[in-house]
């Protein structure tokens, strides 16, 4: 395997992705990711010099809306799925120091 994924990398990606993996899962993730990256490295065989990266497949451009208020208050519907709610707001664990 050409791509060796270190413990630090798995730890770091876990922080980015907000995933907590068990030791066993980490080992599996290292293996899986290494294999996938080996496979993805195949792309390196292609010369892409001067090729414009294609983020959007069709040349659709300038899709704009008018600056007009179209929405009405649907707070109760939006809050209906919230795991925690108080005073019309979503409840989250404390963020303040």
What is the pattern of x (binds another protein, CB under 8 A) and - over residues 27-66?
--x--xx-xxx-xxxxxxxx-x--xxxxxxxx-xxxxxxx
Told to check if 80 binds another protein by CB under 8 A, we report yes
What DSSP designation does 57 have? S
H or E element: which one contains 86? strand 85-86
Cβ of residue 62: shortest distance to another protein, in angstroms?
6
Q: How far apart are the C-alpha atoms of 70 and 5, rounded to whole Å?
A: 49
Q: Taking the complex as a whole, how short is the minimal distance between the CB of residue 30 and another protein, in angstroms?
A: 10
Tokens of 76: 């109760």
Query: Length of the chain, please?
Result: 97
Interacting residue ranges for another protein, rule: CB under 8 A: 9-10, 12-21, 25, 29, 32-33, 35-37, 39-46, 48, 51-58, 60-71, 73-75, 77-84, 86-96
């Amino acid at each position: 395997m050409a791509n060796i994924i270190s413990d630090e990398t798995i730890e770091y990606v876990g922080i980015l992705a907000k995933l907590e993996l068990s030791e066993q899962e980490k080992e599996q993730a290292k293996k899986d990711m290494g294999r996938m990256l080996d496979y993805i490295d195949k792309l390196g065989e292609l010369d892409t010099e001067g090729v414009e990266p294609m983020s959007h497949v069709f040349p659709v451009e300038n899709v704009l809306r008018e600056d007009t208020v179209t929405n009405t208050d649907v707070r109760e519907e939006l809050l209906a799925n919230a795991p925690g709610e108080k005073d019309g707001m979503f409840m989250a664990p404390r963020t303040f120091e």
